């Protein structure tokens, strides 16, 4: 049989968790089974090169609002695209992509339409929640990346039978190579062997809500610094709140203890040099940064939000603390800095757990199986055959 023509839609290709998962899935699907097309609002971002290397066709639908006449015209353009190319599955990733692509695919009669909800929705307004739920009614299925996210949707009235959990996947091979762990210390001007406590995060916020929790990490760093003179702290990432966070570090007297590195593409090297990795988020779906730290064999401290407990297990691969509690966050970091045996045990367990439960192979396999299962539904199979004939 000919490969299934599939269109995956994402906002853009900037560095972010959803964008990384999108590119990994789009480029790793079995090309003998799936002919992948890509849709986006903007052909922009560091991850676009990965799509281009694989030669996937990318169509762009530039809009400045989801609710104006231009957005309607671009939805119609997407609808025409799926009809013209005989697309049998449309899979949208994230809130804005869902609201744009799901109605367009539905108008085009696409046999299988899938929405993805990748966070717990703590930052959504009531209108956004209503809009997402309304659009999801048009979708044949909703994919979430953690059971915690699925539970939130079920409580909000989504049909549990239409929800499937496909956890994020990590390319563990990126963390297998031997590395010069001293390079990071030298590059950042740190003493050889100084313990590094690392956060990898986009430095974003919503109004007054520091949802990535980096502000709490800095407060905890100030507490930890009092007991560990040689410890240093890395904030890897960038965003609109960076200047504010740098000012906070200065107020806390951490100017010489904290390094803001900006975005880096050598995260495996940074993690290899790290002693402890911290995920201080106040809201999450399932964090790629957390999984990458575990894949690198670094012991983690993470907050009890979203899918973090699912990733770590019952303290199997790290320490879970309440969100927003600077004292307990500092205590957990200090415990790991003091106890090398504990660090090594948690690091080994984390690497093993990612390999078993969060590999890219498992994520891609689960995604392929979902597409095939939905296409095999009799009504959708008939629609798919009609689409295929119309495209010939």
With 60 as the cut, is the pLDDT of residue 160 above it?
yes
Q: Write down the pLDDT at residue 382.
A: 59
Q: Are residues 62 and 76 in the same domain?
A: yes
Q: Write down the pLDDT at residue 181.
A: 73
Q: Kindly state the tokens that stand for 8.
A: 């995956």
Neighbour-count burial of 19, counting CB atoms closer than 10 A to its CB (0-12 exposed, 13-18 middle, 19+ buried): buried
Q: Are residues 37 and 141 in the same domain?
A: yes
Q: Looking at the 3D structure of the chain, how many domains does it have?
A: 2
Q: Are residues 106 and 8 in the same domain?
A: yes
Q: What is the DSSP letter of 154?
A: H
Q: Are residues 31 and 102 in the same domain?
A: yes
Neighbour-count burial of 377, counting CB atoms closer than 10 A to its CB (0-12 exposed, 13-18 middle, 19+ buried): middle
Q: Write down the pLDDT at residue 391.
A: 47
Tell me what the mean pLDDT of segment 198-227 comes to.
87
**C-alpha to C-alpha distance for 330 and 254, rounded to whole angstroms:** 15
Q: How many helices (H) and strands (E) does the chain have?
A: 16, 13
Q: Are residues 123 and 56 in the same domain?
A: yes
Q: Are residues 55 and 98 in the same domain?
A: yes
Tell me what the mean pLDDT of segment 95-103 comes to.
96
- Specify the CATH number for the domain of residue 181: 3.40.50.2000
Q: Are residues 179 and 207 in the same domain?
A: yes
pLDDT in tens, 366-392: 999 999 999 997 665 555 555 555 544
Question: Order of strands, edge to edge, in the sheet holding 258-262?
Answer: 258-262, 232-236, 196-200, 276-279, 300-303, 318-321
Q: Are residues 108 and 227 in the same domain?
A: no
Q: Are residues 217 and 101 in the same domain?
A: no
pLDDT in tens, 296-343: 999 999 999 999 999 998 778 899 999 999 999 999 999 999 999 999
Q: Write down the pLDDT at residue 119.
A: 85
pLDDT in tens, 53-81: 999 999 999 999 999 999 999 999 999 99
Q: Which domain holds residue 251?
A: 172-357
Q: Are residues 90 and 161 in the same domain?
A: yes
pLDDT in tens, 227-245: 999 999 999 999 889 999 9
Q: Are residues 116 and 20 in the same domain?
A: yes
With 70 as the cut, is the pLDDT of residue 209 above it?
no
Q: Are residues 68 and 154 in the same domain?
A: yes
């Amino acid at each position: 049989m000919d490969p299934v023509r599939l269109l995956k839609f994402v906002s853009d290709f900037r560095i972010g968790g959803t964008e990384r998962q999108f590119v990994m899935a789009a480029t790793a699907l079995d090309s003998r089974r799936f002919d992948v097309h890509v849709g986006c609002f903007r052909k922009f971002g560091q991850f676009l090169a990965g799509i281009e290397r694989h030669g996937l066709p990318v169509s762009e639908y530039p809009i400045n609002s989801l609710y104006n006449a231009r957005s309607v015209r671009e939805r119609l353009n997407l609808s025409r695209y799926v009809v013209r190319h005989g697309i049998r599955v449309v899979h949208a990733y994230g809130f804005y992509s869902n609201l744009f692509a799901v109605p367009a695919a539905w108008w085009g009669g696409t046999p299988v339409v899938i929405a993805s909800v990748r966070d717990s929705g703590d930052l959504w307004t009531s209108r956004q929640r209503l809009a997402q739920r309304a659009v999801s009614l048009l979708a044949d299925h909703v994919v979430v990346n953690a059971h915690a996210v699925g539970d939130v949707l079920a409580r909000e009235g989504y049909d549990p039978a239409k929800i499937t959990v496909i956890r994020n996947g990590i390319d563990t091979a990126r963390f297998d190579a031997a590395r010069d762990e001293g390079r990071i210390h030298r590059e950042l001007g740190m003493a050889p062997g100084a313990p590094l406590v690392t956060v990898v995060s986009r430095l974003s916020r919503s109004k007054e809500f520091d949802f990535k929790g980096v502000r709490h990490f800095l407060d905890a760093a100030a507490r930890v610094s009092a007991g560990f003179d040689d410890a240093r702290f890395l904030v890897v990432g960038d965003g609109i709140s960076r200047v504010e966070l740098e000012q906070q570090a200065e107020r806390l007297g951490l100017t010489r203890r904290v390094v803001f590195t900006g975005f880096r593409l050598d995260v495996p090297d940074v993690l290899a040099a790290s002693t402890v990795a911290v995920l201080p988020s106040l809201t999450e779906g399932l964090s790629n940064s957390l999984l990458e730290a575990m894949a690198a064999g670094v012991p983690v401290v993470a907050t009890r939000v979203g899918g973090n407990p699912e990733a770590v297990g019952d303290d199997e691969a790290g320490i879970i603390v309440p969100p927003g509690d600077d004292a307990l966050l500092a205590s957990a970091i200090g415990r790991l800095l003091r106890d090398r045996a504990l660090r090594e045990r948690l690091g080994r367990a984390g690497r093993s757990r990612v390999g078993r439960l969060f590999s890219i192979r498992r994520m891609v396999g689960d995604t392929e199986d979902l597409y095939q299962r939905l296409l095999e539904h009799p009504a959708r199979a008939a629609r798919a055959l009609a689409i295929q004939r119309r495209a010939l």
